[in-house]
Chains A and B, each alone.
Chain A
Amino acid sequence: MRIEKCFVCGANVYPGHGSLYVRNDAKMFRFCRSKCRKTFQRKRHPRYLRWTQAYRKTHGKELANDLVFDFEQQRSRVPKYDRELVGQTLAAMKRVEEVQTARRTAFYRERMKVRKHVEQRQAERELAQQSMSANIELVTTAATATERQAERLARSSVRQRVRVPAGPSDTSGIPAAIEDEECRTNGKREKMDVAEE
């Protein structure tokens, strides 16, 4: 008795369910339901159908290339009954399940992180476009307006702080190497100025 996997969608096929197709080159294909069998008969490619596991994994929607999956494999040889081995296997299965769930969850969170930003940006762009086309000014509340103003102020003050001086006389913000260069080209007077400062 074995729980098989569907050739098309990757779902479990329990004993007494689904169907099996044996091609005349002795290759076997299992299907979990008629939908999957028909998909196969129409020669659709499971890798490019969005509802299959093959699609989800090859397109980075789900955890795919991970060592945790190597624990569960189809084995063609049946091991000899051993009470201890059964106990160990059952314990290991539980542990593997835990690890797999944790890694899947982590992968999902990581994937959704990016998605959140992308969605936000998309929404903003859409909103801007719509307001442009409809010639509507976006309504801003007093709170957001003051917030924006504060933000703008903060940004401008930062700009002031990092502003690089235009003239050679004010060299306070210039790194040492450039300062030396300036002094050599502009003579002694500027050097005195710097010293005074």
Chain B
Amino acid sequence: MGSGRKRHNRAARMTRRAQPDLDQIHAEYHAVQSRTVARREPLDIDKPGMGQFRCVACARYFVSVSAQRAHERTKAHRRRLRQLHTDVPYTVQEAMQAAGLGAMRIDQHATVR
């Protein structure tokens, strides 16, 4: 800081703000849902709220419980939950089938909107 020169490095910014893909979120969300005992998140000083207040469905960290609760009331969060419960994630296999490698069993895939 103090040099007065701002860095505009788009690639670095994208890497820094990288979010998991929807299929990764889907896998983690359902793994967490099937867990019987809640697991404690490890303390991480680099993350907001020491990484303790995390929304798995939206892959976001919050600074406090109240912030997390507020997030859970938002439309974006509820939309994501619905998506996680109704959609089957898109896979490389489905892409292959769509491209014509193997018959596409549509009923195996997601609910069509």
A binding-site residues for B, Cβ under 8 Å: 5-8, 10-12, 23, 25, 27-29, 41, 43, 45-48, 52-54, 56-59, 64-70, 72-74
Chain B 75-97 interface residues, beta-carbon cutoff 8 Å to A: 87, 90, 92, 94-97
Q: What residue in chain A is nearest B94 (Cβ atoms)?
A: A54
Known: A54-B95, A70-B103. 10 other contacts (CB 8 A): A5-B95, A7-B92, A27-B92, A45-B90, A54-B98, A56-B98, A65-B103, A69-B104, A74-B96, A74-B101
Evaluate contact between B90 and A5: CB separation under 8 angstroms. no
B interface size (C-beta, 8 A): 25
Evaluate contact between A43 and B22: CB separation under 8 angstroms. yes
Contacting B99 at CB < 8 Å: which of A53, A58, A68?
A: A53
Q: What residue in chain B is nearest A27 (Cβ atoms)?
A: B92
Q: Is B32 part of the binding interface, using a Cβ–Cβ cutoff of 8 Å?
A: no
Evaluate contact between B101 and A73: CB separation under 8 angstroms. yes
Q: Which of B33-41, B42-50, B105-113 contacts A (4 or more CB under 8 A)?
A: B105-113
Known: A5-B99, A72-B100. A54 touches B90 (CB 8 A): yes
- Could you tell me the distance in whole angstroms from the C-beta of B13 to the nearest C-beta in chain A? 13
- For B24, the chain A residues whose CB sits under 8 A away are 25
Q: List 15 A-B contacts (CB under 8 A).
A: A6-B99, A10-B95, A10-B99, A28-B92, A43-B22, A47-B109, A47-B110, A58-B104, A64-B98, A65-B103, A65-B104, A66-B103, A72-B102, A73-B102, A74-B96
Q: What residue in chain B is nearest A66 (Cβ atoms)?
A: B103
- For B113, the chain A residues whose CB sits under 8 A away are 48
Give CA–CA (A46, B96) in the complex, Å.
12
B binding-site residues for A, Cβ under 8 Å: 14, 19, 21-22, 24, 87, 90, 92, 94-106, 109-110, 112-113
- For B14, the chain A residues whose CB sits under 8 A away are 41
Give CA–CA (A12, B100) in the complex, Å.
10
Evaluate contact between A67 and B96: CB separation under 8 angstroms. no
Evaluate contact between B101 and A64: CB separation under 8 angstroms. no
- For A8, the chain B residues whose CB sits under 8 A away are 95
- Could you tell me the distance in whole angstroms from the C-beta of B107 to the nearest C-beta in chain A? 8
- Could you tell me the distance in whole angstroms from the C-beta of A138 to the nearest C-beta in chain B? 38
Evaluate contact between A69 and B101: CB separation under 8 angstroms. yes
Evaluate contact between A69 and B112: CB separation under 8 angstroms. no
